[in-house]
Amino acid sequence: MKHACCIMVQGTMSGAGKSLLCAALCRIFKEDGLRAAPFKSQNMALNSYVTRDGLEMGRAQVVQAQAAGLEPDVRMNPILLKPCSDTGSQVIVNGEVRGQMSAADYFRMKKSLIPEILAAYESLAAESDVIVIEGAGSPAEINLRGDDIVNMGLAELVDAPVLLAGDIDRGGVFAQLYGTVALLEPSERARIGGLVINKFRGDEAILRPGLSMLEEKTGIPVLGVVPYLRVDVDDEDSLAPRLGQQAAKKPIDVAVIRLPRLSNFTDFSLLDEHPALGVRYVEDARSLGTPDLVILPGTKSTISDLLWLRQNGLEAAVLKLAHGGTPVLGVCGGYQMLGRTLRDPLGTEGGGEVRGMGLLPVDTVFCEQKTRTRVQACVTAPAFAGAALDGYEIHTGKTTVEGEPFCRLETGADDGCVSGNVYGTYLHGLFDTGSLAQKLAAFLCGRKGIPCDTAAPISHRAYQEQQFALLAEGVRHALDMKAVYAMMEQRRG
């Protein structure tokens, strides 16, 4: 292919499975010998990633890039919105912070970003055979149609054919798909080359009469019924962590505090793959119980989430566990919370000074400049000494440390802090190599006097490759790929 084709996946709603379908298509095209690149003009998520050149992008396109066999590139997600309140977000354009904006202010200015969106898209297209575009929410949000830059508005700008996916697992999939198509303008409906039923469980034969009726009513063919695939691929949504007890009982209970502005919960994905570690997310003191490890994760709003902990009783519960000897680990914002003080002289997080939890001898001052960098490190904390880390920092704030460091960066600088059974670090992705996860499991099992699986740890990347293969196999089997290729060629031609 001399010029890049494209295919766009839109959904009837958020959570319809667009991100996973795009990841599957990226891997399928890679398996077919094509250079595919993902693209999403605007992403709203608290799970972000730092590229090798120190820029910030949404994790959904990171996962899709990895499925395509590419290094994540900020051009794949030129606009990232990171919610900092119910009505405002930090606006990141081409990996750099443009500032905080209310929803109304951003809505008024977003069309001015179209030239930057198109520049990123065209630059990627010049290097690719196929661009796999992900929409956001639903194209039938008729109140937003006039200023759309992420669904049909973008499809028109780049002349993309569209697959429209509906989630049957939630119920009402025929109404989802028919209603979405009915609310579109005729020119928009004409872009939809196929409908996809996603997350199906059951006997497809029972579904077929409904598929025929759907095709008759919409005039659009159903190109696939994708089963509910039991694959473990990172989700972009900060609401995704499961609350409550772990699904499968494991000997070690790891409780991650579900902060209101929780970010980068994917830091803990690999922990749950260890046969000894059961990870659960909790948001109240009663459900915290007596875990073997408490984790305070990253957050977009450290001070407000610390006050939330304080008000709902979770801080007191964590302090009681920590003083009783339970290990506590803080990552990024969670690390800052574990310190003595948090000061915000410039109002980056609302201003003022609050006391921290006092479990680590560190003090944090927030500033306007954001640290974004990829790092490699070696853990120096005695319980986990020697664990190799490959992660990234993404935070505002400078932390002064008086205690022992958690790890040493490849630059020779120290990171984090350790005080007895309490550990803190700024490094996201700290478990991705598998090395620290294995040492943590051995440490926690040793504390309980139980055997621990000593098999060589699998890295996050190796595990991810296994999951991508399963995902691509399942979607390829369910989706009419000949029709997908025909859609792309017809638009290009």
Active site residues: 332, 428
Angle between helices 460-478 and 18-31 (to 10 degrees): 90
Residues contacting 73, CB < 8 A, separation 6+? 37, 51, 57, 65, 124
Main-chain dihedrals φ then ψ at residue 80, nearest 5 degrees: -125, 125
The span from the CA of 131 to the CA of 135, in Å, is 13
Main-chain dihedrals φ then ψ at residue 220, nearest 5 degrees: -125, 135
Angle between helices 59-67 and 460-478 (to 10 degrees): 80
Residues contacting 310, CB < 8 A, separation 6+? none
Please state, in angstroms and as integers, the Cα–Cα distance from residue 429 to each residue in 297, 466, 477, following that order.
11, 19, 33
Choose among 446, 466, 237, 162: nearest CA to 327.
446
Tokens 């005039």, located at residue:
219
Neighbour count for residue 284 (Cβ, 10 Å): 13
Q: 87 in helix, strand or coil?
A: coil
Main-chain dihedrals φ then ψ at residue 341, nearest 5 degrees: -140, 155
- The letter for the amino acid at 69 is G
Question: Considering just the CA atoms, what is the radius of gyration of the chain in Å?
Answer: 23
The span from the CA of 355 to the CA of 177, in Å, is 51
Which contiguous run of DSSP H or E holds residue 88? strand 88-93
Instruction: Return the structure tokens found at 306.
Output: 């610390």
* Partner residues linked to 224 by β-bridges: 196, 479
Q: 282 in helix, strand or coil?
A: strand
Please state, in angstroms and as integers, the Cα–Cα distance from residue 395 to each residue in 86, 332, 334, 370, 492, following that order.
21, 7, 11, 6, 42
Tokens 């772990």, located at residue:
246
